[in-house]
Amino acid sequence: MRRAVVLGGSIAGLLAARVLSDHADEVLVLERDDIAPSGLFGSGQGPRPGVPQGKQMHALLDGGRRRIDEWFPGFATDLIADGAALADTGRDLHTYVGGRRKVLVDGVEMISATRPLLEAHLRRRVLSLDNLHLVHGRVCGLAFEGDRVIGVRYTGTTTDARDEVVLESDLVVDATGRASRIGDWLREGGWPKPATRRMDVDLGYTTALFRRPEGGHDTTLAQSLSTTPDGRLRLSTLGRVEGDRWIALIAGYADDRPGRGSDEFLLRCKEDPAAAFRQLTEDGELIGEPASYGHPFSLRRDFHLLDRFPAGLIATGDSLASFNPIYGQGMSSAAMHASCLATYLKSGHSLRDPAWAYFKGARAVVDDAWQTSTRSDLRLPHVTGPRPRGFKVISRLSDLVDRASMTDPVIHRRCLEVTQMLSPAKTLMRPGMLLRAAWAVRRQEA
């Protein structure tokens, strides 16, 4: 491949660029924010406008961490040296359900850091690749010739750079995120739009940073799932991050969403049945105001269902699927899509044909993550569906496994492997697993 162009220089775009650098003479990453090392947002000191979720808590699951460490050996070690925390589930990840702590199982590791730090480390590694360059500009559409995409149309970001320029490319990778306009770009070229599937979850997210005093409590990562007296599910998560701080997140659904003010945030922490959140309000010192974010629905674009698609184009990351963020799947999914891209490029398929083999591989990744998150979402009373066939049975079996995971280490480990994107969701429904879960619940009730 002579040149590949990646649209969007966030997590998915950077990981795709890393893979492409092994296969193309030149890789260009086209990004609307000025993320060059000397640019406005190059230092990674804070969130940037192109990634509005950047102020919210982000944890890197083990599935993503392991893949990124393979592409960039020492990635996790460098992050930790910069103040990020590595949480081993057996020691540091405390999961509470209704205030009761789940049995601890070790060997699964997550990274807790602010989103700008994670992205800055990845960007530094990717930009050090010899054949990779950043282009600062805004994508306006695709350039087509016959049955293929031959490049991308973009403009500069200043008022005196409004003329469209075409950047020719052998492969264009759309990584412009959840709000990608890929469907419109395809339609402009006379191609069908991919069908979209959405799951309305109506989630409200609020994140706040706290200073971590010396000698205060030593929580690295804690998660608390609780139910309010009127049956609403709440999630709180707390993680140690760089700069001797904690990041804390409170999430609620429908009209139970947390408000913006610091008083309400602190009140929700004090009300939380898990002690770590009450301690946070005693030991920690709130920095600035909490930041809120709404996630009305999860969304996937089903490219694999199209009957016509141009050669020279793929999509990755949130542009392909964006999930309920409480499961933390987004960055690890992006890493797995990048793995699918590597497999596709190594398999020697011609770039003159549509990339169906890539979309087939990525579909399996999306299906699995979608199943894990929507199966839980559909158990929420306000989420209306659509519910897949056999949902009632699956939901009862999932309840059984969840209950068993409170006390049974084997079942909790398998649940962690699935939620951390190390094993497929179907492994939880194997007969041996279900039998063990039934015994564990029986013992709990005895």
Ligand X SMILES: Cc1cc2nc3c(=O)[nH]c(=O)nc-3n(C[C@H](O)[C@H](O)[C@H](O)COP(=O)(O)OP(=O)(O)OC[C@H]3O[C@@H](n4cnc5c(N)ncnc54)[C@H](O)[C@@H]3O)c2cc1C
Q: Give contact residues for ligand X (rule: CB under 6 A).
A: 7-13, 30-33, 50-51, 53, 56-59, 138-139, 175-178, 205, 293, 295, 317-319, 325, 328-332, 334
Question: What is the amino acid identity at position 11?
Answer: I
d(CA 376, CA 156): 43
* Of 53 and 224, CB closest to ligand X: 53
Task: Tell me whether residue 14 or residue 378 sits nearer to ligand X (CB atom).
Answer: 14
In the complex, the smallest distance separating the C-beta of residue 439 from ligand X, rounded to whole angstroms, is 33
- Which among 194, 205, 389 has a CA at the least distance from the CA of 299? 194
Shortest Cβ 60–ligand X spacing (Å): 6
To ligand X, the closest distance from the beta carbon of 42 in angstroms equals 13
State which H helix or E strand residue 119 sits in.
Answer: helix 115-127
Sheet of 26-31: strand order equals: 132-136, 26-31, 3-7, 171-174, 313-315
- Give the whole-angstrom CA distance, residue 282 versus residue 216: 9
**Upper half-sphere CA count for residue 152 (Cβ side, 13 Å):** 30
User: Taking the complex as a whole, how short is the minimal distance between the CB of residue 386 and ligand X, in angstroms?
Assistant: 23
Please state the φ and ψ torsions of residue 261, each to the nearest 5 degrees.
Answer: -70, 155
Environment class of 107 (CB within 10 Å of its CB; exposed 0-12, middle 13-18, buried 19+): exposed
State the minimum distance, in angstroms, from the CB of residue 196 to ligand X.
Answer: 15
CB-nearer residue toward ligand X: 178 or 414: 178
In the block, tokens 């990041």 appear at 247
C-alpha 66/C-alpha 70 separation (Å) is 6
Least Cβ distance, residue 165 to ligand X (angstroms): 13
H/E stretch holding 401 reads helix 391-404
Q: C-beta of 15: minimal distance to ligand X in Å?
A: 8
Q: Which is nearer to ligand X, 281 or 322 (CB)?
A: 322
Q: Name the residue nearer to ligand X (CB basis): 173 or 276.
A: 173
Q: Which two tokens stand for residue 81?
A: 């040296």
Tell me the torsion sign for CA atoms 213, 216, 218, 223: negative
Whose structure tokens read 């500069």?
156
Residue nearer to ligand X on the CB measure, 7 or 411: 7
Beta strand 321-322 pairing with 285-302? antiparallel
Q: Which is nearer to ligand X, 89 or 329 (CB)?
A: 329
CB of 294 or CB of 390, closer to ligand X: 294
Min dist CB 238 to ligand X, Å, is: 13
Q: Which lies closer to ligand X via its Cβ, residue 284 or residue 325?
A: 325
Shortest Å, Cβ 83 to ligand X: 17
Q: What is the residue-wise DSSP string for 22-72?
A: TT-SEEEEEESS--STTSTTTT-SS--TT-GGGGS-EEE-HHHHHHHHHHS
